[in-house]
Amino acid sequence: MNTSPLNPTEQAQGESAQVTTVSAPAKAQTRRFGNKVRDAGLAYLFLLPALIIFGVFAYYPLYRLFWYATHTQSRFRNKPASYVGLEQLKASLTSNDFISGLTHSGLYMLYTVPLGLLLGVMLAVSTHRRLKGIKVFQTIFSSTVASSVAVASVVFITLVNPEIGYFKNVPWLSLRNPTSALFAVSLSSVWQNLGLTFIVVLAALQTVPDELIEAATLDGYGAIRRFWRITVPLISPALLFLGIVLVVSALQAFAQIEILTGGGPSGATETLLFKIADPRGIRPLGVRASYSLGLFVLTAIVAGAQYSIMSKRVHYGD
C-alpha cells in the first residue's frame, strides 16, 4: 500500500514495482518537478465546476445587466431591443424612483444596523457570566437563528398587520402610515438577526482574556470603564463583521417587504431590491437592470470592506 507510484493522481498499482528502488528524496524531487503539468491539469479540473457555474450565473449575468441597461426592450417580447447607449442607465439612476428606493434602503439600514448591534451586545453581555441556568437564556437568545426572513415576516404579521396584528393600534408601528411602515417592517429584521448578533458577540466576548480584565480591575477600572476600554476594542472585529453582515442584509431586504406591506402604503416601503425584483411588473427590464447595476456598486463597496477584513484576519490567524 505504501510503495509509492510516481504519479500522485493515478494510483497506478502496476508501476509501483518499478519505483520501489528509488531513494526517498530522489522520489520526492522527481515527483515535484515531473508533475508540474499534471498538477496544473488537476487544478483546472478541480476548478472547472466552480468556474463554469460562476461564469454562467455570476459573470455572464453581469454582462447581461449591462446589455439590458443599454437597450430598451420592446413591449412585445418577439420584437428586437434597440441600443440606446448610456442614456437609459443615466436616466434610471437619476430618476426619483431610484432615489426613493435608495432612500428606503438607506433608512432600512439605519433602522436595523445600530439597533441590531446594540441589542445583540446587550443580550450577549447580560449572559456572559457564570450563573445557574445561564444556558437556558443563551439558548433563548440564539433561538431566532432558526427563523428565515420569510418566517420572521409571518411572525410579524401577528404583531403589526393592520387588520389582525396585536399592535395594530400603536401609531408608530402602523403599516398603514407611510412614515412608520418601513420602521415597523424593519423590526422584523432586527428580531430575526438577534440570534446571529447574539451568537457572534458572545463568542467574541469569550475570547477576551481573563488576565486583561483582572489586571484592569486591579488598576482600579470600574465595570463600565473596563467594558469600553478593554472589552469593546477587543470585540471590535466581531462588531465590524456584524455591521457589514447587517448592512448587506438591509441592502437585500425583500421578503419582509413583500410579505408585510407589498411595497405600500403608496410605495413607502419599496426598497431598492423591491423595485428591481418588481413583483408587480411595473418597470421595464432596462430600468430594472440599471437599478441592479446601482445595487452592484453598493454591494461592491460593502463586499470590498468585507474582503479586506477577512483577509486581514488570515494574517492574524497564524
Within 248-267, the residues that bind another protein by CB under 8 A are 248, 251-252, 254-255, 258-259
Max distance between CA atoms of the chain, in angstroms, equals 87
Q: Is 308 an interacting residue with respect to another protein (CB under 8 A)? A: no
Cβ-defined contacts of 133-139 (< 8 Å, 24+) = 138/202
Question: Contact 70/85 with Cβ under 8 angstroms?
Answer: yes
Which residues lie below 8 Å from residue 249, measured CB to CB, with a gap of 6+?
112, 189, 193
Q: Is 121 an interacting residue with respect to another protein (CB under 8 A)? A: no
In terms of DSSP H, where are the helices of 252-284?
A: 255-260, 272-277
Given candidates 91, 191, 264, 267, which one binds another protein under the rule CB under 8 A?
191
Given candidates 76, 82, 94, 130, which one binds another protein under the rule CB under 8 A?
130
> DSSP string spanning 290-306?
HHHHHHHHHHHHHHHHH
Given candidates 14, 21, 24, 75, which one binds another protein under the rule CB under 8 A?
24
In the bound complex, what is the minimum distance in angstroms from residue 96's beta carbon to another protein?
21
In the bound complex, what is the minimum distance in angstroms from residue 296's beta carbon to another protein?
5
- For residue 265, whether the previous peptide bond is cis, meaning omega lies within 30 degrees of 0, is yes
In the bound complex, what is the minimum distance in angstroms from residue 206's beta carbon to another protein?
5
In the bound complex, what is the minimum distance in angstroms from residue 238's beta carbon to another protein?
4
Given candidates 18, 179, 207, 308, which one binds another protein under the rule CB under 8 A?
207
Given candidates 106, 237, 264, 267, which one binds another protein under the rule CB under 8 A?
237
Q: Where does 98-249 show beta strands of DSSP type E?
A: none
Q: Which residue has the cell 449572559?
A: 127
Of the candidate spans 26-34, 78-86, 87-95, 101-109, the one that interacts with another protein by CB under 8 A turns out to be: 26-34
Given candidates 123, 173, 185, 247, which one binds another protein under the rule CB under 8 A?
123
Amino acid at 245: V
Q: Which residue has the cell 484592569?
A: 216
Percentage helix, strand, coil for the chain under 3-state DSSP, each rounded to 5: 70, 0, 25
Cβ closer to another protein: 4 or 177? 4
Cβ closer to another protein: 103 or 138? 138
Question: Contact 257/185 with Cβ under 8 angstroms?
Answer: yes
Phi and psi at residue 22, in whole multiples of 5°? -70, 140
Of the candidate spans 88-96, 97-105, 107-115, 198-206, the one that interacts with another protein by CB under 8 A turns out to be: 198-206
Q: Is 173 an interacting residue with respect to another protein (CB under 8 A)? A: no
Q: Is 26 an interacting residue with respect to another protein (CB under 8 A)? A: no
Cell for 23?
Answer: 531513494
Given candidates 21, 33, 58, 80, which one binds another protein under the rule CB under 8 A?
58
Of the candidate spans 93-101, 102-110, 178-186, 211-219, the one that interacts with another protein by CB under 8 A turns out to be: 211-219
Cα 250 from Cα 101, distance rounded (Å)? 12
Cell for 314?
Answer: 488570515
In the bound complex, what is the minimum distance in angstroms from residue 121's beta carbon to another protein?
12
Q: Is 273 an interacting residue with respect to another protein (CB under 8 A)? A: yes
Given candidates 21, 33, 50, 82, which one binds another protein under the rule CB under 8 A?
50
Given candidates 83, 166, 172, 228, which one binds another protein under the rule CB under 8 A?
166
Given candidates 214, 225, 282, 308, which one binds another protein under the rule CB under 8 A?
214
Question: Contact 200/241 with Cβ under 8 angstroms?
Answer: yes
Cα 59 from Cα 55, distance rounded (Å)? 5
Tell me how many residues contact another protein (CB under 8 A).
125
